[in-house]
Structure 1
Amino acid sequence: MILIKDAQVIDGMGTMPKRSDILIKGDRISAVGTVHVKSAEHIVDAKGAYVAPGFIDVNTDSDHYLTLFTNPSHKNFLQQGITSIIGGQCGSSLAPLLDGKLDSIRKWADPNEINVDWQTVKEFLAFIKKQTLGVNFGTLIGHSTIRRTLIGDELRDLTENELTAFKQIVAEAMEEGALGISTGLGYAHAHETPYAEIHALAEIVKKYNGVYATHIRNETTGMITSIEETIKIASNTGIKTEILHFRPLKGFEKEYLLSLERIAEAAKEADITFDIYPFSTSIIPIYTLLPSWAKVGTLEVMIKNSKTPYVRERILKELPEIKDKDIMVIYAPGTNSFPGKWLEQIAADCECNLKEALLKLMEMTEMRAVVSVNNINEEVTIQTLSHPQAIISTNSPSLIDPPEFFKHDRAYATIPKFLSLVEKKNLMPIETAVQKITSIPAKKYAIQNRGVIKQGFYADLCIFKRGIISDVFVNGEHVVSGQEFQRIQAGRIIKRA
């Protein structure tokens, strides 16, 4: 038994902190209140600190970057108090894989880095269970993952038979424990997916109380239209809906604020939320910086088109305006010389301007580089954290001792920064802030017996003070003590109940 003494307990339900003890027996919370026991093997003095449910991160990239396998401990998440994560976002998941291929993740990582030993969601989750993760893990179904299996790299509507097969695959994946389905409509392969296809698949997922999570079609000039489409899906099907990494991109703040108003209005009748992180940079596949008309076809087609003289000239004119310290290379397959470099350094080496350097980088990495872009309005972001429909997420992979340049704050400090901002700027009551990263996502994704401090629930707990996470428990195991990771991996698989 473990006894946490004299804590200010934030139960995750939005109620004010209350001084209590918490008794942990095995993997469960045994008692909450004034606890008198003489036989506790371990006592944690939490006087002056908050204890909250373990935080739930609904939008992570550990599967996309394959660090689910290379860094199963998820140390950098645990040290933020994150005890449960959801993968399979932005239309790409590691299952189901009808042909055993991981082509849908190649914008983030090299699919050849791992040997695929599964096809179905059931087989994938069984495989992950054997890996023994540091955090609890659940997955959505990646829309593009299945679509590519059905029609390859063709950009067209599905036939009636193909859509019927798609719906059957989704139903089977939900039966096997998937938490919902995600789309990556902002990416080339799924961008032209018709509304009717999404609606049909959402209806299947709704039957299983699953979630529809979407990377919207357009986050700039077409933002409002994209939000209206998402609201239409939520309203017409009744499905629980999540807008992924919805942040105010510089130059499009007006559209963003109008979209927030529309989301708030729609949420009166539909279950719709969005996730956001408190930073000013995005980490994105490099090809997404191309003009929308140039993001057509496969990566190979984009490369070929960019080398056509008149197309190249038009692309250069329409690339976004770039300043020094705006873009840093994070991942560049085929070369070790670019990661960690600012774009202006590459431009100096190539003796060209920033736009030319960006296009050359795209070509040299075959459109598969990943870059960090300073493109988010931080002031508007901070204001948005308190929006009633906002959930906080890292939108990041787990990392294991990466180079200094790759230590993006999202991977290491999303939750601590959020909690610190809440207290320093008085953005909202601390109990409301905790609710955004505990019971609200748990309810949204139908995660059973987590997200709330309650007798009989799993002992996923986090102790913090002034935004600093000191202790973390996962399924009753003390995995972070005094801010130090204890090399204990106690995570479990989260399945649709």
Structure 2
Amino acid sequence: MRSTTPATRLILAGGLLVDGSGAAPLRADLLIDGEVIAAIGDRRDMPADVPVLDVSDCIVAPGFIDSHTHDDGYLLVHRDMTPKVSQGITTVVTGNCGISLAPLVRSEVPQPLDLLGPARLFRFATFQSWIDALRAAPAAVNVVPLVGHTTLRVAVMDDTDRAATAPEMVQMQALLTEALEAGAFGMSTGTFYPPAAHAPTEEIIEVGLPLRSHGGLYATHLRDEADHIVPAMEEALQIGRALDCLVVFSHHKLAGGNNHGRSQETLALIDQAARLQPVCLDCHPYPATSTMLRLDRVRIARRTLITWSSAMPAAQGRDFADIQAELGLDDEQTLERLAPAGAIYFLMDEADVERIMRHPLAMVGSDGLPFDQHPHPRQWGTFTNVLRTLVRERGVLPIETAIHKMTGLAARHYGLADRGLLRVGYRADVVVLDPARVTDRATFEQPVQASEGISGVWVNGQRVWDGQCATGALPGEVLSRAPRHA
């Protein structure tokens, strides 16, 4: 079911067009007609009866593509997608880190699947049924869906603390095939997490075999992003070669003080691999990450902030170290008192973050956890944080490069044939922003705050953000992938 909002006809006049390709900005007018960009040039050559919006003090860019999200369930519950459209995002990639909402029906789910939202959302026995739900009640943004290997394991196996048997791998293959035929762009893994930690490389390759015939991609939250990151990366590259598919290194980072500076090593490995096989990465601009509460992360982080705790709700927003001191317990006992819980870990180095963000294969992905009660600010501010800190304040990236990473580069990697660039005939996913004012307001202390300086966002030609709030339009689509080599 598509939105019934009347088709848009609008000229965005006088803006500085940053077209998503990485090319230098160009001042021009842009005509939106229905769902597409109908013309780019001089408005005097465009139809005279079309309304004109003066954006001469602004940048006009393609809508931003959030390359790494966990919005699978949020799309169904909060269809206006305010955390995303308020920072210029028009498309979200779901099902990352091995966890997708479908195919799985459970009244209770193990961590980290609970990061996707309450158990009642896990009601889709097939990937197609989830896709059908998104199409019946579309959100404000487009969706690029992935299916999670961890979800497949939980759906099929009675015990995930072991490798899958041959019959179980056949069942997972069948579920993956169904998902790919329903529209999944590929499969993700999260062998860092308990439900998939016992899956050997051979299992992932065997389960992932349908990716070959369907042209799907492989996105991975590595087994280790700390001391053993290089072997973990080599495993992912081996899987990509075996399945003849693109490898996406999710939220690429170096965790813990022992590994600060090693991005030079890991990015060199990516450069070497890219000469032999398709590979890319996503990242965000913060020196902190967020996931379930884990002792191994607590012990290498310089600070751990609790985002939620089922056993101790009052811990939300407090530092783990303060809670530990208050309780008079060791770290293991403190974790037992808090679990299940989520946390933000300050364990990355700013120089690594900037180096990774500058890499030519690096896309921008928020990796936000939308149902966290005290979320990481990346859910509300990743893209505007890049524009504020890395572009305007530090000069790490020129504006056209930053927007390329948010748009055209991501569209190319994910096979979105008619999005990610300002081109005549492309779908009208467009953002208008004030380069002098655009800023994230979400902080670690107050993370639920909309950005400033995003004055308008259009998805498939309909305005979903008016500069102050979501408009209520729900024109998002579940997207289809183009052939990998198209």
TM-score (norm 2): 0.87
Which residue is equivalent to 1:431?
Answer: 400
2:71–2:116 contact (8 Å) kept in structure 1? no
Partners in 1 of 2:301 and 2:399 — Cα distance?
38
Q: How far does residue 444 in structure 1 lie from its aligned partner after superposition?
A: 1.7
Q: Tell me the residue number matched to 2:349.
A: 377
- Cα deviation digits, residues 248-304 of structure 1 (max 9, x gap): 3232124432111111111122111111111111112113x338xxxxxxxxxxxxx
Aligned-partner residue type, residue 39 of structure 1: D
Per the TM alignment, residue 194 of structure 1 is displaced from its structure 2 partner at its CA by: 1.6
Q: How many Å separate the matches in 2 of 1:419 and 1:169?
A: 40
Q: 1:387 aligns with which of 341, 356, 359?
A: 359
Deviations 1:348-382 (A, max 9, x none): 43134xxx1x42342234x3200111111122212
Residue in 2 that maps onto 1:332 = 309
Name whichever of 211-220 and 265-274 sits farther off. Answer: 265-274
Alignment match, 2:47: 37
Matches for 1:17-28 after TM superposition, within 5 Å:
17-28=25-36
Query: Structure 2 residue aligned with 1:128, among 134, 150, 162?
Result: 134
Q: Output the CA distance in 2 between the equivalents of 1:141 and 1:476.
A: 28
Structure 2 CA distance for aligned equivalents of residues 13 and 479 of structure 1: 24
> Does 2:227 correspond to 1:221?
yes
What is the CA-CA distance between 1:101 and the residue it aligns to? Answer: 6.8
* Runs of 5+ consecutive residues of structure 2 not aligned to the other structure: 1-8, 439-452
Matched, 1:285 2:292: yes
Shift of residue 246 of structure 1? Answer: 1.1
Q: Which residue number in structure 2 is paired with residue 347 of structure 1?
A: 324
Q: For the structure 1 residues 350 and 99, does the alpha-carbon distance in structure 2 shift closer, same or farther, using more than 3 Å as the test?
A: closer
User: What is the Cα-based RMSD across aligned positions, in Å?
Assistant: 2.3
- Give the corresponding residue for 2:447: none
User: After the TM superposition, which residues 459-478 of structure 1 pair with which residues of structure 2 at under 5 Å, given as runs?
Assistant: 459-466=428-435, 467=438, 468-478=453-463
| C-alpha spacing 1:53/1:379, structure 2 compared with 1 (3 Å) | same
Q: CA deviation at 1:176?
A: 0.9
Q: Is the 8 A contact 1:332 1:370 kept in 2?
A: yes
C-alpha separation between the residues in 2 aligned to 1:104 and 1:345? 24
Structure 1 residues 411 and 475: CA distance shift in structure 2, 3 A = same
Taking the aligned partners of 2:426 and 2:100, their CA distance within structure 1 comes to 28
Alpha-carbon distance between aligned partners in 2 of 1:164 and 1:256, rounded to the nearest angstrom: 37
Q: Does structure 2 conserve the Cα–Cα contact (< 8 Å) formed by 1:142 and 1:182?
A: yes
Residue of structure 1 equivalent to 2:467:
482
Instruction: Tell me the alpha carbon deviations over residues 420-453 of structure 1, each in whole angstroms, 9 at most, x when there is no partner.
Output: 3124333333222212111221122222421111
Distance 2:131 2:262 in 1: 40
Superimposed CA distance per residue, residues 213-255 of structure 1 (whole angstroms, 9 cap, x where no aligned partner): 0000111111111111112222343301101111132321244
CA contact (8 A) 2:100 2:147 kept: yes
Q: Could you say which residue in structure 2 is the equivalent of 1:95?
A: 102
> For 1:6-65, what per-residue CA distance to the aligned partner results, in whole angstroms no more than 9, with x for missing partners?
11112212222111111111121111112332211x3221113211110101111223xx
Distance in structure 1 (CA, Å) of the matches to 2:430 and 2:251: 25
Candidates 80, 91, 114, aligned match of 2:87: 80
Whether the 8 Å contact between 1:56 and 1:438 is mirrored in structure 2 is yes
Who is 1:308 aligned against? none
Give the structure 2 partner of residue 315 of structure 1. Answer: none
* Shift, 1:200, TM fit: 2.8
User: What does residue range 41-440 of structure 1 map to in structure 2 within 5 Å?
Assistant: 42-63=51-72, 66-97=73-104, 102-103=109-110, 105-108=112-115, 111-114=118-121, 116=123, 118-251=124-257, 252-287=259-294, 289-290=295-296, 320=299, 326-352=303-329, 356=330, 358-365=331-338, 367-398=339-370, 406=374, 408-420=376-388, 421-440=390-409
CA contact (8 A) 2:103 2:155 kept: no
What is the rounded CA distance, in whole Å, between the counterparts of 2:117 and 2:242 in structure 1? 38
Distance in 2 of aligned mates of 1:128 and 1:219: 33
2:248 and 2:281 in contact (8 A); partners too: yes
Secondary structure of residue in 2 paired with 1:290: helix
Greater CA drift, 199-208 or 15-24? 199-208
Distance 1:115 1:419, change over 3 A: closer
Aligned to 2:196, the other structure's residue is in SS state coil
| Secondary structure in structure 2 of the residue aligned to 1:274 | strand
| Equivalent pairs, count | 454
1: CA distance, partners of 2:116 / 2:103 = 18
Residue 102 of structure 1 contacts residue 145 of structure 1 at CA under 8 Å; is this kept in 2? no
Q: CA deviation at 1:103?
A: 4.3
1:112-139: CA deviation from partner (whole Å, max 9, x where unpaired): 34472x3211111111223331211231
Matched letter for residue 255 of structure 2: L
- The equivalent of 2:450 in structure 1 is none
- 1:164, distance to aligned residue in structure 2 (A): 2.4
Distance 2:140 2:201 in 1: 38
Q: Distance in 2 between matches of 1:202 and 1:149?
A: 16
TM-score when scaled to structure 1?
0.85
Partner Cα distance (2:230, 2:334) in 1: 31
Task: Specify the code of the residue in structure 2 equivalent to 1:359.
Answer: E
Range moving further from structure 2, 17-26 or 423-432: 423-432
Q: How big is the shift at 1:155?
A: 2.3
Match of 1:220, SS state, is: coil
Question: For 2:96, what is the secondary structure of its paired residue?
Answer: coil
Question: Hey, what's the Cα distance between the residues in 2 that align with 1:113 and 1:95?
Answer: 12
SS in 2 for 1:189: helix
Matched, 1:11 2:30: no
In structure 2, C-alpha distance between the alignment counterparts of 1:102 and 1:215, rounded to whole Å: 19
- Cα distance between partner residues in 1 of 2:245 and 2:36: 31
1:107/1:285 contact within 8 Å kept: no
Distance 1:214 1:411 in 2: 20
Letter of the structure 2 residue corresponding to residue 441 of structure 1: A
Asked whether the 8 Å contact 1:202–1:239 carries over to 2, the reply is: no
Worse overlay, 27-36 or 196-205: 196-205
